[in-house]
Amino acid sequence: MNYLFCAHRRWALELYTKLNKKHKNMILLDNPKKLKLNYIKKINPKLIFFPDWSWIIPNEIVQKYQCICFHESNLPKFRGGSPIQNQIIRGIKNTKTSSFIMNEKLDAGDILLQKDLSLEGSLDDIFSRMISNDYFLINKIINGKFKKQKQTGKITTYKRRKPKESELISLDFSKKYLYDFIRMLADPYPNAFIKIGKKKIIFKDIKYNRKKLEFKGEII
């Protein structure tokens, strides 16, 4: 019995390595060109996990296989792209990792399990919590320890952020706003930047000790 794990970012590959130690039949797919029905048929997975995927998943795969997606929000709130950034910029500190069965609608499938997720700290801090959450949830799902339920509550949907939205038009904002804006756009996302004359300052990292902000970046 095989399981397919579809992901490409560093944090998700770390999750795969951790899972593969326990589930040797967990197969990694990190190339979107391979996500074709003919290829999937050869693997014949019982479940396909999508903890981190940036491409359209063919409907024929969603219809034929149990595809399970992981979304960093308390669904049905914050459906759509860039859920971490869209929540942080709105001052949300705590959310959920939601696992759900995919259907033809965006982030609208039945919930399997959820787990609390803090959005405090750096993106690396958040990714570390996501690894822990997804590891816990995937093991629960493989062992059948879940109860499907429909999504309930008010639906809110947001678009994936575009690189141009990483621009700071000014530094004349509160320290908390600047901290949140820059930290949520650390690698691997398009970094926050500000244009000053003909120069562009790209912010790579930020620390906030309640009294002052400390930036790391480059000028181009």
pLDDT for position 136: 98
Whole-structure pTM value: 0.94
pLDDT of residue 202: 97
Q: Could you tell me the CA-to-CA distances from 110 to 83, 114, 138 in Å, in that order?
A: 18, 11, 16
Give the residue ranges of DSSP H helices in the chain.
10-22, 37-43, 59-64, 83-88, 123-142, 175-183
Strands 199-208 and 213-219: antiparallel
The whole-number pLDDT of residue 6 equals 98
Q: What does the pLDDT read at residue 209? A: 84
pLDDT of res. 211? 80
Extract the tokens encoding 145: 């320890």
- pLDDT for res 19: 98
Q: Which residues of the chain have pLDDT under 70?
A: none
Peptide bond into 163 cis (omega under 30): no
Q: Which domains does the chain have, with CATH numbers?
A: 2-158 (3.40.50.170), 163-219 (3.10.25.20)
**Model pLDDT, residue 109:** 97
